Structure 1
Amino acid sequence: MAVRSCTGFYRQEVNRTAWEVPERYRDLKQVGTGAYGTVCSAWDRRTGTQVAIKKLHRPFQSKLFAKRAYRELRLLKHMKHENLIDLFLLYLVMPFMGTDLGKLMKLERLTENRVQFLVYQMLKGLKVTYSSLTDLKPGNLAINPDCELKILDFGLARQADAEMTGYVVTRWYRAPEVILNWMHYTQTVDIWSAGCIMAEMLLGKPLFKGKDHLDQLREIMKITGTPTADFVVKLQSQDAKNYIRSLPKVPKKDLHSIFSKASSNAVFVLEKMLLLDPEQRVSASEALDLPFFSEYRDNEEDTVALPYDQTVDNTDLPLDQWKRHTFTEILTFRPPTDSRETPL
């Protein structure tokens, strides 16, 4: 049931939850829900397009939730890119994509041409992010009928959030240095995740499907081989060093034997992404320069990450201050103009 709310806003109950959104958005229908928020599709009367509206669950019930909400707002405001979701209003309003990569892979086996286009878009999005996401997985990659991809859920995952590293599906795509807290993370944790996702698209099933953290590591090393001595000395934890040194030596597998139906250019991308040593993995920019993506590459395109001030993100503040910072971000937001918009 929908009712008129305060001036300029429209109130509708969706699955026993009240949604209060600007009047331009109508016909709300729930399309997904998770631990941190619910997403509804809606019709934007100004642009004549379908959008998705995300409502965060109890964003200020704790300092951790408040920090996540603040961080997502800041990141979405900061990043302006065709493969990243934008923030338009008080609610998180974004283009409606229809499905995500996880659901799409369950419905059909993807051709290599589609894999090529999807991974290209994923890397373009990663190229302009300022730091690691640490939660890149098929369910966080939205896909529309034109095979256009957008990365979702910035700010909801943080490398220090222990409960997320325990989430089984996330673990399948997490870089080994994140799973076991081996070392300082760099943006190449996302390159590992992208490689796992690309591998799953080509194989039709997850590449590393560990039952727990240690089993995940064993599954990874069956393919990457056990780490070299040069890598072991880089580990911060002495326990991790001792554990790795205790493992039987396993040689690296030839990825061509695993991905026998894929082109050599596709396998070459995986070889550059799925390296145990994060310092040896390609960056997003380097990956985009590989031959596999030459068909889509625009030599004039030179989009890079914009500077992002993490000062507040990395502080430990009381709940009230997170609320204040979030409110400030909302008040200072200026929606992008849309040439399709017409007066109501």
Structure 2
Amino acid sequence: MGEGAPAAGNTVKATDIFSADEIRRLSARSDLMGAWLVLCAWGLIGLAMALFAAWPNPATFVVAVMVIGGRQLGLAILMHDAAHGLLFRTRRFNELAGQWLCAYPVITDLHLYRPYHLKHHRFTQQEDDPDLVLSAPFPISRSSLRRKILRDLTGRTALTRRREQVMLTWGKAGLSWRQRWERLEKGGLVGAALVNLALLGLLTALGYWWLYPALWLLPLATWYQLVSRIRNIAEHAMVPDNDDSLRNTRTTNAGPLTRLLLAPFWVNYHLEHHLLLFVPCWRLRQAHRMMLAKGYAERMELRGSYAEVLRLAASAVGDGPHNNVGAANRVHI
């Protein structure tokens, strides 16, 4: 098994590449590792806030916004692992941490995300893929991509997304207050509000209440939006073959700085994740190296950097179709 890559055009499954023993080792989950990843995400957020609080200047502010926005994406990625049951080995820990420490802080909901995301895996790049709207509009023109980036960095994307989220959850006219409250609870907005109030309360107790709007809400409304868009583009836009499991999803090389600010927790190994749904994020790099060693590099959709992917995304001549702002910012991992 895995003695050589099959010819192009043949869809490949995990069992075509990896032995049963390799799959067993790659799919092993860990409560300790899950706790460490969550702690690392929040610890780096805390350090970035402390950096600016200790040395307040424009440079440390920009660094803090970018680092925190990148870690907010990291929380969404850990929520994604929890949606697959991979963040913790113990199911109760997986559900509680995935919801309260990862999803709610970035104003999303694990239990709503899970069925939506699993449908994406089932129908990747096919007509029934709920995330096809994210990849289908590309490539676009450079001017169109610049406008999208500007919307992200000025908070317009976030405002549109939050408005859509609240209106969808609030429901139509004529509902009672009790019915609306139930909808808000089921939509995750009550939990998200409680967690964000707790974060504000903690910072206030420490004497730094202003860090919540400046270095939590602002990164969430700006840098998090941009890196989420870039990651969405890199994962499925402009892939060479929508029907080939090694070519309808992309893995993008990421150096240390890129991993810090744009691609945390091995999210750049997206092809490996689609092939190996049962593998925790912290083992995806190992799976990638194993696939290269088995001779699959020529079959895989690989790119050298996110900058390369963005150049490809902006390669259309003239203004193409404009994808929906809210749809472009869906939490898709």
Q: TM-score range by the shorter chain?
A: under 0.3
Query: Computing the radius of gyration over CA atoms, which structure comes out larger, 1 or 2?
Result: 1
Which has more helix, going by share of residues?
Answer: 2
Using the size of structure 1 for normalisation, the TM-score is 0.26
Specify which structure has the bigger relative contact order, considering alpha-carbon pairs within 8 angstroms and separated by 6 or more residues: 2
Which has more strand, going by share of residues?
Answer: 1
Using the size of structure 2 for normalisation, the TM-score is 0.27
